[in-house]
């Protein structure tokens, strides 16, 4: 266990005016420092909320609640304290200045989590999960990250690693007894175990990939011919004037995207340029971007104008969209004759919609949510893993293939055992059992100060 010598402090809450702000302190000088600035030092006890004042030279700084955690029973595993004061950055600043005058220094980004990791309180998957909980933009990410913080990913990795360790041990026992011709694990059995390991790693890789994809936001473009109301629909869903709306066809030239939450998942909703045969160079570029998005997006919102007749443009856009998952909105229903949707029968199920009145919005959210859940069936079981983990899993799959090659060509057991050790080391990088400082730097520097 590595114990950093110095004591750090930082505000764990953002520098804004709010009811409460919290200042964290961690390190061996914590208790001395807080006792010296807190008006009722006798009240400071392990895991006890002490109420009192912080006073400097007879001037009252604030009334606060102070909780002290005695090492190793704290988040970092060191002596820690949390001071909750009134949420004014001026007060926070004064308390931190006071602590600094007692020889405590301001923490680097992620330094509390880094200490928790170095003291064995959390592994890297849990540290990364905490960061995901803070930065998550949808309910799905939050619950997935909380599961990870509770060790869901770590347990799977540990289980896979344990299997490889066993296999390697069996093979090494074979090495020791090789003179006596005892084989602890037959070649076939070893291959089966390797195959099983590969299935587990590949499955985990797939689940992390899905999670990674979802967490970036699932692209859902809103497409249709010019002037049908695509930008108005984006603005309605976002509940603000994000895209310019006008009655001039060809208003939107570029892709305009925002992340919104649908059915607990982050959706990258994209307003696109109305698709048309245009002479204008800029408009053509926009139309090209819209077409590309239709190709790559998993789900498309196709908009038609319920207030006007179906045009050839509508039909040709629908022909590109129809083979993909899509939703059809008959927008401007407020301008249409009621129950006159029959003329849109060629587009299949059409949702009557109005960006003006909001009609159909709840139904759109329900329908889109349903499609997304179906498209990403396994989303309950996917992980919001960092690219770092996905890359390590890919490396592990390559090593497994190499091991199989060694088995099949009946290489000496020492060589196979060596390659299996590479696999164990590789998997251990995920939890951080084996991780060079440079990797730790890059992970924890992404955290905010006070975390």
Ligand X SMILES: Nc1nc2c(ncn2[C@@H]2O[C@H](COP(=O)(O)OP(=O)(O)OP(=O)(O)O)[C@@H](O)[C@H]2O)c(=O)[nH]1
Give the shortest CB-201-to-ligand X separation in angstroms. 46
> Which entry of ligand X, Mg ion, none binds 156, CB below 5 to 8 A by partner kind?
none
Name the nearest CA neighbour of 203 among 142, 129, 168, 211: 211
Tell me whether residue 91 or residue 361 sits nearer to Mg ion (CB atom).
361
The pattern of x and - marking residues 228 through 247 that bind ligand X according to CB under 6 A reads xxxxx------------xxx
250 contacts ligand X (rule: CB under 6 A): yes
Query: Which position among 21, 235, 252, 431 is part of the footprint of Mg ion (CB under 5 A)?
Result: 252
313 contacts ligand X (rule: CB under 6 A): no
Label residues 223-260 b or e (16+ Cβ within 10 Å = b). bbbbbbbbbbbbbbbbeeebbebeeeebbbbebbbbeb
> Which entry of ligand X, Mg ion, none binds 246, CB below 5 to 8 A by partner kind?
ligand X
Residues 259-278, interacting with ligand X (CB under 6 A): 273-274
> Which entry of ligand X, Mg ion, none binds 232, CB below 5 to 8 A by partner kind?
ligand X
Residues 334-353, interacting with ligand X (CB under 6 A): 334-335
Q: Which window, 2-10, 43-51, 326-334, 366-374, contacts ligand X (CB under 6 A)?
A: 326-334
Name the nearest CA neighbour of 415 among 401, 403, 397, 426: 403
Q: Tell me the residue number closest to Mg ion, measured at CB.
A: 252
Total residues at interface with ligand X (CB under 6 A): 24
> For residues 73 and 169, what is the distance between their CA atoms, to the nearest angstrom?
36
> Which entry of ligand X, Mg ion, none binds 227, CB below 5 to 8 A by partner kind?
ligand X
If phi over 0 gives left and psi between -120 and 50 gives alpha, with beta otherwise, what is residue 420? alpha
3-state class percentages of the chain: helix first, strand second, coil last, to nearest 5: 50, 20, 30
Q: How many helices (H) and strands (E) does the chain have?
A: 14, 12
203 contacts ligand X (rule: CB under 6 A): no
If phi over 0 gives left and psi between -120 and 50 gives alpha, with beta otherwise, what is residue 109? beta
Phi/psi for 21 (5° steps) reads -125, 150
Query: Which position among 113, 119, 125, 231 is part of the footprint of Mg ion (CB under 5 A)?
Result: 231
Q: Which distant-in-sequence residues (6+ apart) come within 8 Å of 288 by Cβ?
A: none
Tell me whether residue 99 or residue 270 sits nearer to Mg ion (CB atom).
270
Residues contributing to the site for ligand X (CB under 6 A): 224, 226-232, 245-247, 249-252, 273-274, 331-332, 334-335, 354-356
């Amino acid at each position: 266990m590595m114990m950093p010598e110095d004591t750090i402090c930082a505000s764990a809450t953002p520098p804004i005016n709010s009811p409460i702000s919290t200042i964290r302190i961690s390190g061996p000088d914590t208790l001395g420092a807080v006792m010296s600035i807190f008006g009722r030092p006798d009240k400071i006890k392990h895991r006890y909320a002490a109420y009192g004042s912080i006073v400097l030279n007879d001037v009252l700084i604030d009334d606060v609640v102070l909780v002290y955690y005695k090492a190793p029973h704290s988040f970092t595993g060191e002596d820690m304290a949390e001071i909750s004061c009134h949420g004014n950055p001026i007060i926070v600043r004064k308390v931190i200045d006071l602590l600094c005058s007692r020889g405590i220094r301001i923490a680097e980004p992620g330094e509390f989590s880094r200490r928790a990791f170095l003291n064995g309180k959390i592994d890297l998957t849990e540290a990364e999960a905490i960061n995901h909980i803070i930065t998550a933009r949808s309910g799905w990410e939050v619950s997935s990250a909380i599961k990870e913080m509770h060790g869901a990913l770590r347990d799977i990795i540990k289980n896979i690693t344990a299997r490889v360790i066993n296999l390697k041990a069996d093979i090494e026992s074979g090495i020791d007894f090789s003179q006596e011709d005892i084989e602890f694990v037959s070649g076939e059995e070893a291959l089966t175990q390797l195959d099983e390991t590969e299935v587990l790693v590949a499955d985990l890789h797939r689940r992390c990939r899905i999670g990674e994809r979802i967490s970036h936001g699932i692209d859902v473009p809103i497409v249709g011919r010019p002037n049908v109301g695509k930008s108005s629909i984006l603005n309605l869903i976002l509940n603000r004037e994000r895209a310019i709306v006008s009655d001039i066809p060809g208003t939107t030239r570029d892709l305009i995207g925002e992340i919104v939450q649908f059915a607990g998942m982050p959706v990258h909703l994209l307003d696109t340029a109305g698709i048309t045969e245009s002479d204008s160079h800029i408009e053509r570029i926009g139309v090209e971007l819209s077409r590309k998005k239709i190709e790559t997006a998993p789900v498309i919102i196709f908009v038609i104008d319920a207030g006007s007749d179906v045009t050839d443009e509508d039909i040709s856009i629908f022909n590109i969209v129809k083979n993909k998952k899509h939703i059809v909105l008959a927008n401007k229903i407020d301008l249409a004759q009621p129950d006159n949707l029959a003329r849109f029968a060629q587009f299949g199920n059409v949702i009557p919609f109005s960006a003006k009145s909001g009609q159909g919005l709840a139904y759109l959210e329900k329908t889109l949510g349903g499609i997304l859940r179906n498209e990403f069936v396994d989303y309950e079981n996917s992980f919001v893993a960092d690219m770092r983990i996905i890359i390590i899993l890919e490396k592990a799959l390559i090593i497994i293939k190499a091991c199989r090659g060694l088995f099949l060509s009946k290489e000496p057991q020492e060589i196979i055992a060596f390659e299996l050790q590479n696999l164990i080391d590789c998997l251990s990088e995920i939890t951080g059992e084996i991780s060079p400082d440079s990797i730790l730097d890059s992970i924890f520097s992404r955290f905010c100060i006070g975390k």
